[in-house]
């Protein structure tokens, strides 16, 4: 298909009967894939942008690892969007990663209930709206018609109707199409109650079929950017791998902090002790627990593809799409390492 090429590196990596054998097979495949990506070209431009800071339950974000969740039930995460430009045989393409419509995402059932029972003056302190997606694009000089693709690692809390349009609403991005794993797209159309609690009601309803590109497995979009299937958090979860001067960034919400990928070094209360006690390599983000075994494997896959951070090689070069952010309101939630912002190359304003 013209929008991507298929990656076969991970095809057989999860077929072993033993769970740890699957981890090791996937780790080996991830090492091979990392070599392939590093040997190839880089993207033209990559930059992260803060959209919204909000609260999230510690029992989900740091599954079983946080020492005092009974006293400190919440932490804060910053949701970010990423703008990527890369070359393809058909020319340069502009991709938005995680362009969350947070003005509508608050209707996600879990967050709607939380808002309904929280006084307004408290909400004003624990939710900070930095920018909307259109504001970010206007700031950097991109027109809506410059956007070719949108993608999300998964569709929890996402409402994409304003971006892609419906029969009742024109598309803000007239030429953009959504890149989504076929399992994620099928599931969002037919959810069970536990999963429905984390998806924005009707967030994909009415979107024309030709605005959606469904893929299976893992795919390469063009020079320096790949979508790697990393199931577990959801069945159709995928991680975005971007080749930059900082190495390979792996963007994901399988973990909410780089600490989650190096828990033995974590400064989050109790996390390092918990990791040592059970011998875990990672701490999963477990709000839905669709498949925690696969999610564990996926996080090992992500940290192996990412390799060491150039900022501090003790940590992997993972960029959580919703990153744990320290707050005085939630003690013991200051991570040892934060990414915050990344920039590579210079934005090209497409000729239209």
What average pLDDT is seen over the chain?
A: 95
Report the first-to-last Cα separation within the chain, whole angstroms: 24
Q: How far is CA 297 from CA 94, 140, 215, 324, in A?
A: 30, 37, 21, 21
Average pLDDT over residues 280-306: 96
Q: What is the pLDDT of residue 121?
A: 81
Q: What is the pLDDT of residue 119?
A: 87
Average pLDDT over residues 11-32: 97
Looking only at the bridges linking them, the beta strands covering 177-181 and 212-215 are parallel
Q: What is the pLDDT of residue 173?
A: 98
Domains and CATH numbers, the chain: 5-343 (3.60.15.10)
- 154-202 pLDDT tens trace: 999 999 999 999 999 999 999 999 999 999 999 999 999 999 999 999 9
Q: What is the pLDDT of residue 343?
A: 98
352 pLDDT more than 70: no
**DSSP conformation letters of 213-266:** EEE-SEEEEETTEEEEE--SSSTT-EEEEEEETTEEEEEESSSSSGGGGSGGG-
Dmax over CA atoms of the chain, in Å, equals: 57
Per cent of the chain over pLDDT 90 is 91
Q: What angle do CA 296, 299, 300 make, to 5 degrees?
A: 90
Q: What is the pLDDT of residue 1?
A: 60
């Amino acid at each position: 298909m013209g929008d991507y090429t298929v990656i076969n590196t991970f095809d057989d990596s999860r077929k072993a009967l033993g769970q740890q054998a699957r981890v090791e097979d996937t780790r080996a495949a991830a090492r091979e894939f990392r070599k392939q990506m590093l040997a190839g070209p880089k993207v033209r431009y990559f930059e992260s942008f803060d959209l919204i800071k909000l609260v999230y339950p510690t029992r989900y974000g740091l599954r079983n690892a946080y020492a005092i969740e009974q006293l400190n039930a919440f932490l804060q995460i910053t949701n970010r969007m990423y703008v990527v430009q890369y070359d393809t045989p058909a020319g340069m393409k502009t991709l938005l990663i995680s362009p969350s419509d947070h003005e509508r995402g608050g209707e996600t059932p879990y967050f709607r209930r939380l808002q309904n029972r929280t006084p307004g003056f408290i909400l004003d302190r624990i939710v900070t709206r930095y920018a909307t997606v259109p504001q970010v694009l206007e700031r950097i000089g991109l027109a809506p018609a410059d956007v070719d693709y949108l993608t999300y690692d998964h569709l929890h809390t996402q409402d994409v109707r304003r971006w892609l349009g419906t029969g009742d609403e024109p598309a803000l991005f007239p030429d953009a199409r959504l890149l989504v794993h076929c399992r994620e797209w099928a599931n969002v159309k037919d959810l069970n109650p536990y999963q429905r609690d984390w998806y924005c009601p009707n967030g994909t309803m009415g979107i024309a079929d030709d605005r959606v590109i469904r893929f299976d497995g893992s795919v390469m979009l063009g020079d320096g950017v790949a979508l790697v299937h990393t199931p577990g958090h959801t069945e159709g979860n995928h991680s975005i791998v971007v080749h930059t001067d900082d190495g390979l960034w792996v963007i994901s919400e399988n973990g909410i902090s780089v600490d989650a990928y190096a828990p033995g070094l974590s400064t989050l209360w109790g996390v390092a002790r918990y990791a040592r006690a059970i011998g875990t390599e990672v701490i999963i983000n477990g709000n839905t627990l669709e498949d925690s075994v696969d999610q564990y494997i996926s996080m090992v896959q992500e940290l192996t593809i990412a390799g060491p951070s150039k900022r501090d090689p003790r940590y992997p070069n993972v960029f959580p799409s919703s990153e744990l952010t320290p707050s005085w309101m939630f003690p013991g939630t200051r991570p040892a390492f934060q990414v915050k912002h990344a920039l590579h190359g210079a934005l090209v304003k497409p000729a239209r």
